[in-house]
Amino acid sequence: MRYIVVGAGAVGGTIGARLYQGGHEVLLVARGAHYAALKRDGLRLVTSESAETLDIPAADGPVPTRDDDVLILATKSQDTIAALAPWPSDLPVVCAQNGVANERMVLRRFDRVYGMCVWLPAQIPQPGVIAAGGHPYSGMLHVGRYPQGVDDLGEQIVTDLGKHGLVARRSPDVMRWKYGKLIGNLANAAEALVGHAPGLSDLAERARAEARTVLDQAGIAYSTPAEEAEVRGHKVDMRPIEGVERGGGSSWQSLARSSGSIEADYLNGEIVLLGRLHGVPTPVNEVLRREANRAAADKLPPGSMSPETLAALIDGRSAA
């Protein structure tokens, strides 16, 4: 089997590197300066314990495909459609992404779609370098066929992922885990907007409480933090990496890189969408979605807003 990682950034680069170290054939697909560095120097994987350069083949677009190829999609959700467009729809696709919208988007074109619930703290400190902060494993990955079940290929993917530096679990109800993870990721926009200011945890909890009301009303099952903590144990604890400052999560990183876009439509926006479908007001996630997009479009740095300003915008929206 050859694993083609489409969007070999923080998460995709870590998964690609660990599969490669486990003895698998891997191709990294990237773009821009990151692609140029991967192609020229190989992928440099740094962790709290080691730093090594891996000579993994890289491409900046589609390559001739084979029957045994598996696509690991690891772009941000807003890039899913464009990133998969050039790839043939008979290949299996594993969505190694946050949110719950990607699998459904991909299933329109691709017959075999797998969800992956990704606990894997990572970032790109500079082009060609992936810093993976999880210890002793870089990440824990739940994998299952979408919408549910685990087939033979899913079992094989779990076995392959678990060979080096990652914990992989077969998960027939992978979307239940991804809805649980989505609740946690509603804080991403707040963290990007206010940084690690003291008011962050209150804002995050308001977004999460609203989401639980929406999901309950919609009859959607989700894993709980206690369940997640029990499964994860101390397998993926965050460890500092020498010379790498972990400023924040993946939406924080989008603002820090002035990338011009952010994943909020597929995180907070998912709750807004479900709220509208099921008649539940979602002022907290509406404001977080809107303000995160505004900050990304205006290329503002992370932490550009005070928690008080953000809370006042939410209160204003709630009153309206």
Q: For ligand NAP, which is the closer residue by CB, 133 or 283?
A: 133
Q: Kindly identify the residues of this chain, within the stretch 106-135, that bind ligand NAP according to CB under 6 A.
A: 118, 120-124
d(C-alpha 267, C-alpha 265), whole Å: 6
CA angle, 126 as apex, 121 and 128 as ends, to 5°?
Answer: 90
Q: Which is nearer to ligand NAP, 137 or 283 (CB)?
A: 137
Q: Is 31 in the site for ligand NAP (CB under 6 A)?
A: yes
Binding mask 32-51 for ligand NAP (x = CB under 6 A): x-x-----------------
**Residue whose C-alpha is closest to residue 50's, from 233, 244, 222:** 244
- Nearer Cβ to ligand NAP, position 75 or 282? 75
Residue 280, C-beta contacts closer than 8 angstroms, at least 6 positions apart: 213, 214, 217, 274
Instruction: Report in angstroms how near the CB of residue 33 gets to ligand NAP at its nearest.
Output: 8
Options 4, 17, 28, 29; binder of ligand NAP; rule CB under 6 A: 29
Closer residue to ligand NAP (CB): 47 or 98: 98
Asked whether position 303 contacts ligand NAP by CB under 6 A, the answer is no
Q: Are 302 and 247 in contact (CB under 8 A)?
A: yes
Max CA-CA distance within the chain? 57
Q: Decide if residue 30 touches ligand NAP (CB under 6 A).
A: yes
Span interacting with ligand NAP, options 28-36, 192-200, 219-227, 273-281, rule CB under 6 A:
28-36
Q: Would you state the structure tokens that stand for residue 262, as one six-digit string?
A: 């952010």
Burial 33-64 (b: 16+ CB within 10 A, else e): ebbebbeeebbbbbbbeeeeebebbbbeeeee
In this chain, which stretch among 3-11, 48-56, 199-207, 310-318 interacts with ligand NAP, using CB under 6 A? 3-11
- Quickly list H helices, the chain: 10-21, 32-41, 80-84, 102-107, 152-161, 174-185, 187-194, 200-218, 225-232, 250-256, 268-278, 283-297, 307-319
For helices 283-297 and 187-194, the axis angle rounded to 10 degrees is 50
Task: Examine residue 140 and tell whether it contacts ligand NAP (CB under 6 A).
Answer: no
Token digits of residue 316: 């204003």
215 binds ligand NAP (CB under 6 A): no
- Nearer to ligand NAP by Cβ, of 101 and 158: the residue is 101
Told to check if 78 binds ligand NAP by CB under 6 A, we report no
Binding residues vs ligand NAP (CB under 6 A) = 7, 9-12, 29-32, 34, 74-77, 79, 82-83, 97-98, 118, 120-124, 249-250, 259, 263
